[in-house]
Amino acid sequence: MLDSIIFYFFAGIAVISAALMITRRNAIHSAVFLITTLLATAGIFLQLRAEFLFISQIILYVGGIMVLFIFVIMLVRLDVPLPQIRSGLQKWIALFVALAVGVEAGVVLFLARKAPGQGLLIPNPAPAEKLPPNTEELAKGLFGAYLLPFEIASVLLLVAMVGAVVMAKKRTDAP
């Protein structure tokens, strides 16, 4: 019971602030609501006893990425309205994408109900106290079964980083 209270609390916050994030005009306000969404999601992780995931979410997304987001927003001054390319089709494309995503989510949920133990619902979860420390479990997963994808992702990130540096660097030898 307590678990569901906590879940609905965090889920509610996450959904509401996600909506606010999209509707705010001020970029910084949007960022603040995005942070709230991420924190609420982290709260759900915690409620699921995925402590390591919870703290990774906070350290990486909130503490790292969002700070940089805000940094960039402050530097570039997005709140000064830029001449944006608006197309009449935008509304319809958005509607279509939203519908597509909605249908997809519905299908996934529906299928998950059909195949117990495979999808989102776990019928008989082990009690939280009996779970092995999930840092270790996560490490075993990452460095065992999923080593190759993990490494590929790392290399991809490295490439992105080097690319960003190359693009951002001012040419000092320019006349």
Partner 1 sequence: MNSALHSILVFVQTWWVELLCAVLIVLVVPLIAGYIVLVERKVMADMQARLGPMRVGPHGLLQPIADALKLLIKEDLIPDNADQFIFWLAPVLSMTAALTSMGAVAFGPWFQVARDINIGLLFVVGVSALGPFGIVLGGWASNNHYSIIGALRSTAQLISYETTAGFALVSGFLLAGTLNVRAIVETQRSDHAWYIFLAPVGFFTYLIASIAETNRAPFDLPEAESELVAGYMTEYSGFRWSLYFLAEYANMIVVASVGTTLFLGGWLRPFPNIHWLGWLDAGPTLLLALVGAYCVYRAGKQPARVQSLFMWAVALACFVVAAIFGLAAPFGHPPLQFMYRGLYGAFWFLLKVSAYIYLFMWLRFTLPRFRFDQLMRLGWHILIPLALINVVDVSIALALTSEFGLNRWLAMFFTTLATLGAAMLLLRWNDKYSAAASATLLADSSIVEETNAG
Partner 2 sequence: MADTIHENAAQKSDTLFGADELVINMGPQHPSTHGVLRVKLKLDGERVVGSECVIGYLHRGVEKIAENRTYQQFAPYVDRMDYVSAVSNGLGYCETVEKLLVVEAPPRARVIRTILTELQRIASHLLWLGTHALDIGALTPLFYCMREREEILKIFEKYCGARLTTHAFRIGGLQYEAYDTLEKDVERFCEDFERRIQQYSDLLTGNSIWIGRTRNVGILNSADCIALGASGPVLRASGVKWDVRKAMPYAAYDQYEFEIPVGTRGDTYDRYMVRLEEMRQSRLICLQAIENIPAGPIMARVGKVLKPPVGEVYHAIEAPKGILGYYIVSDGSVQPYRVRIRPPSFINLQALDKMIRGHLVTDVVAIIGTLDIVLGEVDR
Interacting residues toward partner 1 by CB under 8 A: 1-2, 5, 26, 28-29, 32, 35, 51-52, 54-55, 58-59, 62-64, 66-68, 70-71, 74-75, 133-135
171 binds, among partner 1, partner 2, none (CB under 5 to 8 A by kind): partner 2
Cα dihedral 148/151/156/159 (nearest 10): -140
Please list, residue by residue across 131-168, b when 16 or more beta carbons sit within 10 angstroms of its beta carbon and e when fewer do.
eeebeeeeeeeeeeeeeeeeeeeeeeeeeeeeeeeeee
**Rounded least distance, CB 81 to partner 1, Å:** 17
Binder of partner 2 out of 1, 75, 80, 115 (CB under 8 A): 75
Instruction: Please give the sequence-ordered ranges of beta strands (E in DSSP) within the chain, or none if there are none.
Output: none
Binder of partner 2 out of 59, 74, 76, 161 (CB under 8 A): 76
Span 140-169, contacts to partner 2 by CB under 8 A: 167-168
Number of amino acids touching partner 2 (CB under 8 A) = 7
**Phi-psi category of residue 81: left, alpha or beta, with phi > 0 → left and psi -120 to 50 → alpha:** beta
Length of the chain: 175
Residues that bind partner 2 (CB under 8 A): 75-76, 167-168, 170-171, 174
